Amino acid sequence: MLETFAHRGCKPKFGMEFDSEEIAYKLYNKYARKMGFSIRKEAVVKNKRSGEVTSRIFVCSKEGFRSKDKRDSLTKHPRVETRTGCDKDRL
């Protein structure tokens, strides 16, 4: 499926359904790399009874800004901030 999708030049669309979260991530990641950016997993919604993932949001890896509480001031060598507020479409 991934190879077919890439060769046809298809663009991922919000609301697409996949057999697994892993397949969706691989597809979106492959598309993003082809377009010159990378993605990260932002939000997930799970079924309360079964715990099954019912939806997942992927965003540009530079989208938004890290929460202040994630930046520990006591860390000697904190990671460089990579989020720049990118507003690429959510996938």
Q: 61-70: per-residue pLDDT in tens?
A: 777 667 666 6
* pLDDT tens digits for range 11-28: 777 788 888 889 888 988
27, 2 Cβ separation under 8 angstroms = yes
* pLDDT tens digits for range 1-13: 445 555 456 677 7
Place of tokens 């890896």: 61
Indicate if the pLDDT at residue 44 is higher than 70: yes
- Tell me 3's DSSP state: H
